[in-house]
């Protein structure tokens, strides 16, 4: 039976697919974030179209592309301007730290202003760009440029009405630039319903980048999108970008990436009682912690404890506040024993205070992205995230926070977020819907009872670790946050004054029990003393009786001796041998009864009295015997 071939591609096709194909060469722009979105920069030796409405940052993007190429890669560039003069351009970008005059002296940059007035243009006969090509060639050769910026195309073709001429000359311009092998950026103004006014440039360009500057609820936001990129993959979503004192920065994040690394290291929360509730040193390194609660529950104080503990370990930290200024935070935290000012002076801590309305959602994300990229902190606090809902839809705020959390997780930054829960709202929920994204969720709340408000907290969840299920009362003191051991009474967990009253009652009962025990102890001691006295009396009586008994024994022994002597004398008087006794007196029988028991003292006295007459008779007998012999 013939063998069957496995289905699949032919060997020739498989081998050709497995071979490594050459990748499109790219040129770095030096713009933070943009090179990541485009996976390396713009296409080398080709033309990139940069389009957008007025004020969106086209000129700044182009200037930064040339400056970074000259300073970072040593590639000279040419900037051809049709609207601004060389002097204006130099002054405008000086505020961003770009010294164009210095680059011109070093032959790293050439600026050529071409003046074009619509009133001076007369369309007659054939029109071409030969004059522009000559001007460009001279500028490129003057510095040996590898980079070129033409700002803007609308000025070049603004005086022409023939669509065919514009289309043909555009193709000629793009072909001429490609033949030169120079990497070019062309700026163009956005048209109505099209990317450019003429609607042609985007079709002949190899790469098209759209800049957008939109205003929503009086808050402006800048965004960037790569519309097309021939020969290369790229990020196709909208990316927020920021223009600040250092130039243009793009935030290369759109969705949450779940490929971040995790750590088993635990870091201190700054509160010993909270560490105990987490059954260990504290939070996981690189995790996200959410602290929620109503106003006045101590959320900012918890966050400040975390930051202070991190700074004490020498770790760089950022505290982003949307409600309090830097000086206000430092003053308030000193009242609970936290000196954050020393860490600010040491450069370990940065406190960034912004109003939520200072930027749009994307602007806040861009600011944080740049701040984290420049400062490289290990820990970040954002207090509170609930302000993100001001002037924005909750879903938009949710998306922004997802991107923010993902960005910080990818960098291994430990994040603590605080969220204000509005009165009457569910405590175990957030308007931004980020509770499912966090690793540890701590809830603080204020309870009213017995005419007072008490603070308490509990750990709602903490992924990857066991934790306490108890509700713990805490106090904000001059020494910081102190967790109080839980007290469970007959009516449940007692806090505040109720706990203090119950504890006082128990101390009183314990004192009463102690007094009763002491009284019982005194009674026992008294009884022991009485018993000891009785024992002493009995011992004295026993001693007296013992002495009397021993005296009686001695008297009995003397009496026995006298009996033996008397018998011996009587025997001698009768002519018998002069020995005391033929048989010794049984001392045992004399001292004891017939049954072998020892007679009592009274019995001994009675026996002695009964034997007294016999003793007198014996004496009388001896006297009569003596008289008869005489």
Annotated catalytic residues are 83, 323
Label the pairing between strands 480-483 and 472-477: antiparallel
Q: Indicate the helix (H) or strand (E) that contains 319.
A: strand 317-321
Alpha-carbon dihedral angle through residues 442, 443, 444, 449, given to the nearest 10 degrees: -140
Contacts of 237 (CB under 8 A, 6+ apart): 225, 254, 255
Bridging pattern class, strands 317-321 and 414-420? unpaired
DSSP letter string, 354-391:
--GGGS-HHHHHHHHHHHHHHH--SEEEEE-GGGGGTT
Please give, one letter per residue, the 3-state secondary structure of 321-357.
ECCCCHHHHHHHHHCCCCCCHHHHHHCCEEEEECCHH
Phi, psi (degrees; rounded to nearest 5) at 375: -90, -25
User: How many Cα atoms are found within 13 Å in the side-chain-facing hemisphere of 229?
Assistant: 21
Give backbone dihedrals phi and psi of 431, rounded to 5 degrees, phi first.
-65, -30
Both structure tokens of 214? 């939109």
How many other CB atoms are found less than 10 A from the CB of residue 506? 12
- Please enumerate in sequence order all residues whose Cβ is within 8 A of that of 21, keeping only pairs 6 or more positions apart, or say none: none
Rounded distance between C-alpha atoms, residue 350 and residue 470, angstroms: 35
The Cα 73–Cα 593 span in angstroms is 135
Cα–Cα distances (Å) from 497 to 66, 458, 476, in that order, read 70, 20, 16
CB 322 within 8 A of CB 355: yes
């Amino acid at each position: 039976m013939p063998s069957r071939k496995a289905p699949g591609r032919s060997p020739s096709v498989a081998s050709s697919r497995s071979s490594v194909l050459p990748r499109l060469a790219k040129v770095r722009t030096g713009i933070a974030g943009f090179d990541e979105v485009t996976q390396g920069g713009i296409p080398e030796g080709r033309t990139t179209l940069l389009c957008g409405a007025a004020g969106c940052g086209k000129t700044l993007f182009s200037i930064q592309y040339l400056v970074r190429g000259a300073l970072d890669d040593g590639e000279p560039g040419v900037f051809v301007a049709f609207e601004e003069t060389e002097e204006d351009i130099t002054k405008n970008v000086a505020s961003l730290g770009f010294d164009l005059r210095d680059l011109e002296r070093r032959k790293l940059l050439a600026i050529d202003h071409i003046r074009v007035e619509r009133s001076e243009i007369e369309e007659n006969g054939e029109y071409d760009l030969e004059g522009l090509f000559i001007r460009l060639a001279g500028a490129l050769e003057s510095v040996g440029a590898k980079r070129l910026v033409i700002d803007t195309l609308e000025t070049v073709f603004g005086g022409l009405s023939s669509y065919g001429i514009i289309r043909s000359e555009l193709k000629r311009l793009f072909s001429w630039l490609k033949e030169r092998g120079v990497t070019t950026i062309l700026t163009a103004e956005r048209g109505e319903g099209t990317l450019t006014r003429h609607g042609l440039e985007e079709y002949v360009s190899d790469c098209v980048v759209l800049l957008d500057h939109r205003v929503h609820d009086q808050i402006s936001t800048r965004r960037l999108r790569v519309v097309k990129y021939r020969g290369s993959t790229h990020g196709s979503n909208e990316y927020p970008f920021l223009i600040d004192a250092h130039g243009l920065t793009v935030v290369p994040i759109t969705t949450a990436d779940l490929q971040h690394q995790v750590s088993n290291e635990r870091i201190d929360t700054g509160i010993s009682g909270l560490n105990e509730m987490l059954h260990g040193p504290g939070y996981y390194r690189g995790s996200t912690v959410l602290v929620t609660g109503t106003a006045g529950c101590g959320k900012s104080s918890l966050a400040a404890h975390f930051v202070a503990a991190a700074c004490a370990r020498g770790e760089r930290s950022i505290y982003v506040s949307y409600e309090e200024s830097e000086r206000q935070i430092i003053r308030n935290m000193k009242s609970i024993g936290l000196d954050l000012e020393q860490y600010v002076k040491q450069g370990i801590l940065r406190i960034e205070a912004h109003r939520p309305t200072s930027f749009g959602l994307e602007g806040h994300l861009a600011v944080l992205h740049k701040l984290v990229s420049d400062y490289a902190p290990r820990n970040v606090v954002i207090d509170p995230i609930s302000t993100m809902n001001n002037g924005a839809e909750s879903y938009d705020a949710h998306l922004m926070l997802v991107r923010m959390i993902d960005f910080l997780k990818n960098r291994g930054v430990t994040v603590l977020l605080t969220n204000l829960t509005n009165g009457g709202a569910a405590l175990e929920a957030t308007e931004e819907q980020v509770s499912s994204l966090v690793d540890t969720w701590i809830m603080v709340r204020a309870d009213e009872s017995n005419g007072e408000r008490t603070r308490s907290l509990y750990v709602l969840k903490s992924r990857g670790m066991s934790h306490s299920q108890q509700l713990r009362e805490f106090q904000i003191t001059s020494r910081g946050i102190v967790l109080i051991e839980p007290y469970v009474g007959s009516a449940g967990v007692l806090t505040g004054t109720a706990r203090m009253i119950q504890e006082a009652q128990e101390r009183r009962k314990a004192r009463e029990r102690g007094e009763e025990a002491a009284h019982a102890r005194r009674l026992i001691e008294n009884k022991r003393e009485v018993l000891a006295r009785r024992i002493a009396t009995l011992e004295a009586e026993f001693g007296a009786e013992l002495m009397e008994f021993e005296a009686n024994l001695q008297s009995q022994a003397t009496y026995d001796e006298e009996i033996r002597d008397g018998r011996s004398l009587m025997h001698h008087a009768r002519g018998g041998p002069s020995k005391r006794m033929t048989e010794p007196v049984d001392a045992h029988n004399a001292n004891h009864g017939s049954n072998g028991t020892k007679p009592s003292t009274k019995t001994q006295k009675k026996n002695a009295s009964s034997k007294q007459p016999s003793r007198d008779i014996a004496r009388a007998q001896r006297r009569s015997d003596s008289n008869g012999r005489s």
